Structure 1
Amino acid sequence: MGLVGLRLEGSSVSVQGDGWAGIGWDWKDHDDIRRRLDRGADPEAWRGRRPLHRAAVFGSPEVVAELARRVADVDALENGVTALWEAVVSRKPDNARALAAAGADPWRRSLGGWSPGRLSLAGPTPDLFTAPPGEHLTDAERAAAQDATRLITALGSFHWDGTGLACVAGIDATEAIRRLEATPAPADIIDAALENPHTAERDETLRIVGVTSVPGGCAVTQPWGYAPQMPGVLTRLSVGTVCYGLYANPKSGNQGSVARDGAIEGWDLHPGGGPDEDDTPEEVLASYLYLYNAVAFTCAFAGLRPTGPRAVVGPPDLWVRLPERDYWKH
Structure 2
Amino acid sequence: MNNRLEARYLGLALSSPLVPSASPLTATLSGARTLEDAGAAAIVMHSLFEEECQQDQQMLHQFLYDREQGHAESDGYLPEPDGFKTAEERYLETVRQMKEHLEIPVIASLNGVTRRGWSEHARQIAEAGADALELNIYYVAADGDEAAQDVERRYLDILHAVRSSVPDLPLAVKISSQFTSPVHFVKQLKQIGADAVVLFNRFLQPDIHLESRRLRSLLELSRSEELRERLRWIAIVRAQVAVDIAVTGGVHTAEDVIKAQMCGADITQMASALMQRGPGILPEIKTMLLHWLDEHEYDSLLQLKGSVSYRNAADPSGFERANYLETLDSWRP
Q: TM-score, normalised by structure 2?
A: 0.28
Q: State which structure, 1 or 2, has the greater radius of gyration over its C-alpha atoms.
A: 1
Work out which structure has the larger RCO, using CA pairs closer than 8 Å and 6 or more positions apart in sequence: 2
Q: Which has the higher helix share?
A: 2
Q: TM-score, normalised by structure 1?
A: 0.28
